[in-house]
Amino acid sequence: MTLIPLTLCEYNATWKSLDARPLPAWYDQAKFGIFVHWGVFSVPGFGSEWFWYFWKGLHRPEYVEFMKKNYRPGFSYPDFGPMFKAEFYDPEQWADLFAKSGAR
C-alpha cells in the first residue's frame, strides 16, 4: 500500500504553528460534555472502576491482597452496595464545576 499526502500543509510542533491555523467554523458552537460514572467501585477506594474485573477476573495479586487485608473472608462485590452512601455528593457543586469547565 502506498500512502499519498493529500495536503501540502506544513506543521511544526510549536504554539506559533498551531496558532497560525484557523479554527474550524463549528468550533465555537461545539458542545463539551462530561460523563460521570460513579458507583460501588468507589467504596474500597482502591484501583478504578475496573476493580471487580481486576480482583475476580484477572486475580491481580495487589487486588486480591487488598481484599484479604481489608475485608472479611467471603466478602463479595455486591457487599459493597450497602456501603455506597454518596454522603458527600453535592449536585449543585458539580453543576457549578461543569459550567465553569465550559460544558454545555
Say how far apart CA 41 and CA 50 lie, in whole Å: 8
pLDDT at 4: 59
pLDDT confidence of residue 30: 76
b/e sequence 52-61, b meaning 16+ C-beta within 10 Å: bebbeeeeee
CA separation, residue 56 to residues 1, 50, 88, 92 (Å): 44, 10, 29, 36
| Residue-range domain boundaries for the chain | 45-99
Decide: 63 and 47 in contact? Cβ < 8 Å.
Answer: yes
Of 23, 27, 51, 26, the closest CA to residue 37 belongs to 51
**In the prediction, which pLDDT does 6 show?**
58
Half-sphere exposure of 70 toward its Cβ, with a 13 Å CA cutoff?
12
- Print pLDDT tens along the chain (104 aa): 665 555 566 778 888 888 888 888 887 777 778 888 888 999 999 999 999 999 999 999 999 999 999 999 999 999 999 999 988 899 999 999 999 988 87
At 10, list the grid cell. Answer: 506544513
Q: What is the pLDDT of residue 71?
A: 97
- pTM (predicted TM-score): 0.58
